[in-house]
Structure 1
Amino acid sequence: MAGVLDSVNQRTQLVGQNRLELLLFKLNGRQRYGINVFKVKEVLQCPKLTSLPNLAREVRGIAHIRGETISVIDLSLATGGAAIDDLTNRFIIITEYNRSIQGFLVDSVERIINLNWEQIMPPPEGAGDKNYLTAVTEVDNDMVGILDVEKILMEVAPTNEEMTDEVLQEAKEIIADSEKMLMIADDSTVALNQVKRALTPLGLEIMQAKNGREALEQLIALSETCERSVTEKLGLLISDIEMPEMDGYTLTAEIRTMEKLKDLRVILHTSLSGVFNQAMVDNVGADDFIAKFNPDDLAAAVERNINILHSQPAREISSDK
């Protein structure tokens, strides 16, 4: 256990190689779950929690850790299970998602495993709206569920999903003449719908994909209907980074190698805030990065990149990409 706790902050080097490392943990019962190590700041035994009035039921209290006040969410309660008991023998996983830091209370923490995104599969069809998984994988002949943390956070602490009137009007004026579609790729249904709801007022037709491989297949199919470039019909791709089968970094790198796709502008839109690797964005050829989820930032990025697309010549593919 000590090795797991000590090494979490140093285990981010695999991002961008279509690989990831999962921290495995349990809630109540035998089922194992995973969370991407790249989002984990620290794992520690549950400290003393302070209860406050008017907290959501899933928030077991707040903890004071290294000068920060952090809400601690019971992941079992948040996913429809029973509350985790005997907190003195439990653990919290400190994470950074969507521009905020939170603690997730879990029963036990096991180990870190190294996987390829191709080993990460979407959850079974028909799982329903109560499903809290974005993906599943197999470890030691057992299924491991990868939790949809964005869905959990939206239910526990909802955020504003509407852009301000000033930003909306400015973006609509700039984008009004664009007849191009926009594509969103994200494995979280919640995140996908957040982006769609935020951008729908701009009047853009929106395509969507649930992972990088599906997005690439759709882009190739669309490009075959274009004479020279997919940008004749599609103005922009907004892609998550963490997705089953193919991550956003690999998707972007693949786009840059294909003649009819290479001019497509790509925004990486991800909950990997705070520890984000800007060098990797540049290396794979992404055009922009924004952290989830701020509708004004999203609208501004769409406006900015569509403007650039209209004004710049086709890019050349670097020989080292």
Structure 2
Amino acid sequence: MTSILDSVDSRTRLVGENRLELLIFQLGTRQLFAINVFKVREVLKVPHLNQMPGSHPKICGVATIRGHSIPVIDMRQSIGMRPLEKDQETNLIVTEYNRTVQAFLAGKVVYIKNMGWDEIMEPPSTGRSNYLTAITKLEHENQNKLVEIIDVEKVLAEIVSYDIDISDGVLDDQLTNHLVGQKVLVVDDSSTARKQVSETLGQLGIECIEMKNGAQALRLLKGWCDEGKTVTDEILLMITDAEMPEMDGYKLTSEIRADSRMSNLYIALNTSLSGSFNEAMVEKVGCNRFVSKFQPDLLVDVVQTHMRERLEK
């Protein structure tokens, strides 16, 4: 299974083209689930798991992989189902999110599917959709099957608490009055991620306008332009995720830069994807800053730095 994860370069090229690759897997039933391959380090059979007394009930143990102790989370249990029963098809999906490495206990890994973000749809607002960022459909075993794309950030936020407190010395008192009442456009398909950003910036008196994907955000921005409004008068800046249904953050940024009516909008990419890769993509598509999730102090720094730039003009 690890061999199908070797061609990293080819996958990174997809991201700038509004495409992604999904790792499709099962959780002990015939239902198909998925996460973005780019978050996956490797897939392997389940090694011995050491138990951690007092750990979160969704953590089923710790695996030692290549000399590192990695917490193992029961993916099935984490999205509101009964714990996964281990069998010969059980796998570990080792991932990296928000600068941390963790493994998910999963069932059979089916295959990897190359898709366009325009083929990815919002989930219905029912039942297990609380743990989904999106859905898609594909042919599997001669059937048109629904694939549920898991909101891993929400899963992790319920296990590892994220602190939105701003460290001492980060806030610039000289900017406080200028920031109160400013608006920031936050674009992310994860409700958990949007909440984290909004609650962080809310401490500065900033109002966040939330959008679920790049297509929604672009419609809003173009609508303002069509009404004769100046985008930079409406919002201070935009903070966008990379991976989103319909249109990803890279495509969104390139569309904004290509429209002279709003090409000067300050854009920060805020994502859980690989830092070194995103720094290259930021330069390629024209983002102003890159911030890996979730770092409240850096989000505040992005906002304050741009506010200073505005005041100095």
TM-score (norm 1): 0.90
**Alignment partner of 1:119 is 2:112:** no
The 1:67–1:237 alpha-carbon spacing in structure 2 relative to 1, beyond 3 Å, is same
Looking at structure 2, the residues matched to 66 and 289 of structure 1 have their Cα atoms a distance apart, in angstroms, of: 30
The 1:224–1:7 alpha-carbon spacing in structure 2 relative to 1, beyond 3 Å, is closer
The 1:123–1:130 alpha-carbon spacing in structure 2 relative to 1, beyond 3 Å, is closer
Question: Does the aligned pair in 2 maintain the 1:216–1:255 contact within 8 Å?
Answer: yes
Looking at structure 2, the residues matched to 249 and 135 of structure 1 have their Cα atoms a distance apart, in angstroms, of: 18
Query: What SS class does the counterpart of residue 218 from structure 2 fall into?
Result: helix
Give how far 1:161 is off.
Answer: 1.8
Where does residue 130 of structure 2 map in the other structure?
131
**Alignment partner of 1:26 is 2:29:** no
Looking at structure 2, the residues matched to 292 and 244 of structure 1 have their Cα atoms a distance apart, in angstroms, of: 19
Where does residue 159 of structure 1 map in the other structure?
162
Where does residue 204 of structure 1 map in the other structure?
206
Question: Does the aligned pair in 2 maintain the 1:118–1:246 contact within 8 Å?
Answer: yes
Question: Does the aligned pair in 1 maintain the 2:278–2:290 contact within 8 Å?
Answer: no
Amino acid paired to 1:278: E
Looking at structure 1, the residues matched to 66 and 216 of structure 2 have their Cα atoms a distance apart, in angstroms, of: 42
The 1:128–1:81 alpha-carbon spacing in structure 2 relative to 1, beyond 3 Å, is closer
Deviates more, 1:66-75 or 1:277-286: 277-286
Question: Does the aligned pair in 2 maintain the 1:270–1:291 contact within 8 Å?
Answer: yes
Query: What SS class does the counterpart of residue 215 from structure 1 fall into?
Result: helix
Amino acid paired to 1:215: A
Looking at structure 1, the residues matched to 35 and 137 of structure 2 have their Cα atoms a distance apart, in angstroms, of: 14
Query: What SS class does the counterpart of residue 169 from structure 2 fall into?
Result: helix
Question: Does the aligned pair in 2 maintain the 1:175–1:303 contact within 8 Å?
Answer: no
Query: What SS class does the counterpart of residue 278 from structure 1 fall into?
Result: helix
Query: What SS class does the counterpart of residue 185 from structure 2 fall into?
Result: strand
Where does residue 182 of structure 1 map in the other structure?
184
Task: Report the RMSD for the aligned CA atoms in angstroms.
Answer: 2.0
The 1:81–1:275 alpha-carbon spacing in structure 2 relative to 1, beyond 3 Å, is farther
Query: What SS class does the counterpart of residue 162 from structure 1 fall into?
Result: coil
Give how far 1:294 is off.
Answer: 1.3
Amino acid paired to 1:218: L
Where does residue 317 of structure 1 map in the other structure?
none
Where does residue 224 of structure 2 map in the other structure?
222
Alignment size in residue pairs:
308
Question: Does the aligned pair in 2 maintain the 1:47–1:88 contact within 8 Å?
Answer: no
TM-score (norm 2): 0.92
Where does residue 259 of structure 1 map in the other structure?
260
Amino acid paired to 2:36: N
1:264-317 deviation digits (Å, cap 9, x = unpaired): 0000000113453322111111000000001111111111123234446xxxxx
Give how far 1:79 is off.
Answer: 0.8
1:193-216 deviation digits (Å, cap 9, x = unpaired): 111011101112221111000001
Looking at structure 2, the residues matched to 19 and 224 of structure 1 have their Cα atoms a distance apart, in angstroms, of: 28
Give how far 1:9 is off.
Answer: 8.4
Amino acid paired to 2:193: A
Where does residue 46 of structure 2 map in the other structure?
46
Q: Which runs of 4+ in 1 moved over 6 A?
A: none
Question: Does the aligned pair in 2 maintain the 1:74–1:83 contact within 8 Å?
Answer: yes
Looking at structure 1, the residues matched to 309 and 136 of structure 2 have their Cα atoms a distance apart, in angstroms, of: 39
Identity of paired residues, percent?
43
Structure 2: segments with no counterpart, 5+ residues: none
Amino acid paired to 1:144: V
Looking at structure 2, the residues matched to 5 and 259 of structure 1 have their Cα atoms a distance apart, in angstroms, of: 39
Where does residue 319 of structure 1 map in the other structure?
none
1:221-272 deviation digits (Å, cap 9, x = unpaired): 2234455x31122110000010000000000000001122101000000011
Question: Does the aligned pair in 1 maintain the 2:268–2:287 contact within 8 Å?
Answer: yes
| One of 144, 147, 153 as aligned partner of 1:144 | 147
Amino acid paired to 1:289: F
The 1:198–1:146 alpha-carbon spacing in structure 2 relative to 1, beyond 3 Å, is same
Where does residue 297 of structure 2 map in the other structure?
296
Query: What SS class does the counterpart of residue 241 from structure 1 fall into?
Result: coil
Query: What SS class does the counterpart of residue 50 from structure 2 fall into?
Result: coil
Structure 1: segments with no counterpart, 5+ residues: 313-321
Where does residue 287 of structure 2 map in the other structure?
286
1:95-140 deviation digits (Å, cap 9, x = unpaired): 110110000110110110100000000101x326862100000011
Question: Does the aligned pair in 2 maintain the 1:50–1:63 contact within 8 Å?
Answer: yes
Amino acid paired to 2:273: L
Looking at structure 2, the residues matched to 226 and 176 of structure 1 have their Cα atoms a distance apart, in angstroms, of: 28
The 1:113–1:54 alpha-carbon spacing in structure 2 relative to 1, beyond 3 Å, is same
Question: Does the aligned pair in 2 maintain the 1:73–1:105 contact within 8 Å?
Answer: yes
The 1:63–1:8 alpha-carbon spacing in structure 2 relative to 1, beyond 3 Å, is farther
